[in-house]
Amino acid sequence: MKSTEKKIHNRSDLVGLSPFLTRAWSGWKYELAGLILSVCAWAVVTQFIFTRPGLSYFKGFLPGPTLAALTDAFQNPRFWVSVFASLRRIAVGVAISAAIGLPLGVLIGFFTRLRKLTHSPIQFVRMISPLSWMPIALLLFTSFESAVYFLIVMATICPIILNTAIGVMDINPQWIKMALNQGANNVQLIQTIIIPYSIPHMMTSIRLALGIAWIVLVPAEFLGVSSGLGYLINDARDTMEYDKLMALIIAIGILGFMLDRVFQKLQHRFNWSWANDV
């Protein structure tokens, strides 16, 4: 009797999991198909280009040698030391941008005069390529690490400010009027309404900043640091190890994709819990 009840219970668990597995597969099958098509396109294009006479030296860009070099990289402690060094620079740079940009974004979005005053300067700085700050970074900072942090901050601070300000401006003005009618001052408005309801936009701005920082990181690490993914790419280029070079490019894409996905899951979970709390 107990064995029968246990089987029924296990079947009910499987039935409960079935819709979840179906939804998960329906979401992943298109992404998996897209990745497979991308690999096939990579194989066809590189096979057509780098197997022609005179270009056989670049066969390292083909999928076979690249995947072999990628496997070796994943087993190499030096690769992971560089990965963690790059992730540390991303974390520090984006944290500095968030510490400066989030409060500024809240103030700019809340105070109309301040928004009008800062609009043109922020848009002007935003249109400057972050990499053009490299010579200034080398002049201002005595260490390459600090220069890399500076470049990441210059690349990410404007998106954080602008997206946070947009989140503040999207708040329902009726809520602010109701709070003012109850005698709330500006500090209380910011603490009780502005900041809580603009947090989803803040998280979106940080996610965008992470993507931008990941793109800027590799050329920033060409400055002279002795570790990091950009350093490894520069080293592979100088030694003409093209399979290793392509493997590092693929690894950067994989790590950046995973970093974005992790933050996306955290963002969705936070938005869901916030909506339920409200």
In this structure, the answer to whether residues 242 and 119 fall within a common structural domain is yes
Which domain, by its residues, includes 144?
60-277
User: What is d(CA 137, CA 103) in angstroms, rounded to the nearest whole number?
Assistant: 24
- Do the beta carbons of residue 50 and residue 61 sit within 8 Å? yes
CATH number at residue 205: 1.10.3720.10
User: What is d(CA 171, CA 167) in angstroms, rounded to the nearest whole number?
Assistant: 7
- Do the beta carbons of residue 187 and residue 107 sit within 8 Å? no
pTM beyond 0.85: the answer is no
In this structure, the answer to whether residues 27 and 72 fall within a common structural domain is no
Q: How many domains does the chain have?
A: 2
Q: Does 55 map to a domain? A: no
In this structure, the answer to whether residues 233 and 163 fall within a common structural domain is yes
In this structure, the answer to whether residues 147 and 254 fall within a common structural domain is yes
In this structure, the answer to whether residues 155 and 207 fall within a common structural domain is yes
User: What is d(CA 92, CA 184) in angstroms, rounded to the nearest whole number?
Assistant: 36
In this structure, the answer to whether residues 32 and 120 fall within a common structural domain is no
Alpha carbons within 13 A on the beta-carbon side of 76? 15
39-71 pLDDT tens trace: 787 777 777 776 666 666 667 677 788 888 888
In this structure, the answer to whether residues 41 and 135 fall within a common structural domain is no
In this structure, the answer to whether residues 24 and 145 fall within a common structural domain is no
- Type of residue at 63: P
148-177 pLDDT tens trace: 999 999 999 999 999 999 988 888 888 888
pLDDT reported for residue 157: 94
Tell me the mean pLDDT in the region 131-137: 88
In this structure, the answer to whether residues 6 and 108 fall within a common structural domain is no
In this structure, the answer to whether residues 94 and 166 fall within a common structural domain is yes
256-269 pLDDT tens trace: 888 888 888 877 77
pLDDT reported for residue 188: 81
Residue 274 — pLDDT band, cuts 50, 70, 90?
very low
57-111 pLDDT tens trace: 667 677 788 888 888 988 989 899 999 999 999 999 999 999 999 999 999 998 8
112-125 pLDDT tens trace: 899 999 999 999 99
